[in-house]
Amino acid sequence: MGTVSQFHNRQRPVAHRIESEEEAIAIARRLATAFAQQASERDINRILPYAELDQLSQSGLTAITIPPEHEGLDVSNALLGEIVAIIAEGDSSVAECLELHFRVLEQVRILADDELRSSLFAHALAGERFASACFAEPDAVASAGGGYRLAGRSTPAPALLFADWFAITSKNEIQNLVLYLPREAEGLRIIDDWDGLGQRTNGGATIIADGTLVTADATSAIATPSPSIVDAITALLHAGTSLGIARAVLANLAASPRLAEIGKLVVTIEAAAALVESAGRKLDVAQVSSSQKLVESAFYAASAAQITASSAALETANALFALSGDDAAGIGRNLDRHWRNARIHGLAQPVNEFYSGIAGHYFSEIRNSSADG
């Protein structure tokens, strides 16, 4: 492996290798403190955090989920959720890019064959970043020679502006596929079309493909049952970002005299953190097991963490202005960005669907326990 890799027509050093979970936490805290300093200005003026994401990549944090057999650290999932939360406390848009990057790496771990997995993990170890997009049109992917041809327009997705690699999900006439494409692949255009009221600097964009060719060895078939490990880790990481938003809001309430109300928020946030930790432990077990029952348990635990953390972020952001002084509403402080970020980030979760699934899982567990007894 060389000492440099290409990125947006620039060169950057190969990323640092993190040697321990303690080092990972220390680096995350240091970066979050730095990211927080200009987070408000970036939000107000929509200054995209290219420099911050480069720092994140070069720190080695973007490679901490890679398995040891591929020279990675493979941190526990509870720690992973906490690291995303720490980064989100500094800048939730940067954290959202990190959560989506880790989601793709888990998809690679589960779905890719050995050669593709080794190749993509090597790129991640070098500090390159991943994001995902979906081409939902039924004819977006067509067979072409020994591979596929991609054409059409993706649905808008976060993190695309900052990614070196895209994991594109689509469906041909036979199966659901993931196509792994480098940013510079011929025929790809990335359109900066984000217009949301929150998460304004998360790199949201749309991919347009004009007959882009993808070789068969750069694709994976999606054949895992639902819910899957990828679904579970997606929910866990989403919870991490929401948890970080809630903590960032809480930090702005330190001077408020209304301690009882703030104490309630602290309890809510700590409950969300506990659920993230618990879900992470269940994910650790599910990742090394072939049991679909354990996967489902991890998924619903992570879903509970996601719902609770999202609610905590919104509840805390709503309370910010009621529990703070008059200056909290000042444009210069830009504290409303926390509510905007929590609201936009929470849109991705189908809450009623999660609640229905969790209820069904809960009663199924009770029936199984009764039968075993």
* pLDDT for the residue numbered 243: 98
Helix axes 77-90, 229-251, angle to 10 degrees: 40
Which one-letter amino acid corresponds to residue 151? A
| Shared fold status for 131-221 and 229-372 | no
* pLDDT for the residue numbered 313: 97
Task: Quote the CA–CA distance of 365 and 279 in Å, as a whole number.
Answer: 17
* pLDDT for the residue numbered 105: 98
Secondary structure (3-state) at 213 = strand
* pLDDT for the residue numbered 175: 85
Q: What is the CATH number of domain 229-372?
A: 1.20.140.10
What is the strand order of the sheet 188-191 is part of? Answer: 141-144, 147-153, 206-215, 188-191
Task: Quote the CA–CA distance of 309 and 92 in Å, as a whole number.
Answer: 13
* pLDDT for the residue numbered 166: 98
Query: Where do the domains of the chain lie?
Result: 4-129, 131-221, 229-372
Which CATH superfamily groups domain 4-129? Answer: Acyl-CoA dehydrogenase/oxidase, N-terminal domain (1.10.540.10)
pLDDT in tens, the chain (373 residues): 233 333 444 567 889 999 999 999 999 999 999 999 999 999 999 999 999 999 999 999 999 999 999 999 999 999 999 999 999 999 999 999 999 999 999 999 999 999 999 999 999 999 999 999 999 998 999 999 889 999 999 999 999 999 999 999 998 877 899 999 999 999 999 999 998 899 999 999 999 999 999 999 999 999 878 899 999 999 999 999 999 999 999 999 887 888 899 999 999 999 999 999 999 999 999 999 989 999 999 999 999 999 999 999 999 999 998 887 666 666 768 999 999 999 999 886 667 777 888 888 888 877 776 666 6
Contact by Cβ (8 Å): 49, 42: yes
Taking the mean position of all CA atoms in its chain, how far away is CA 355?
21
What is the strand order of the sheet 130-134 is part of? Answer: 130-134, 165-171, 176-182, 219-221
* pLDDT for the residue numbered 326: 65
* pTM as predicted: 0.93
* pLDDT for the residue numbered 3: 30
Q: What is the CATH number of domain 131-221?
A: 2.40.110.10
Element (H, E) at 191: strand 188-191
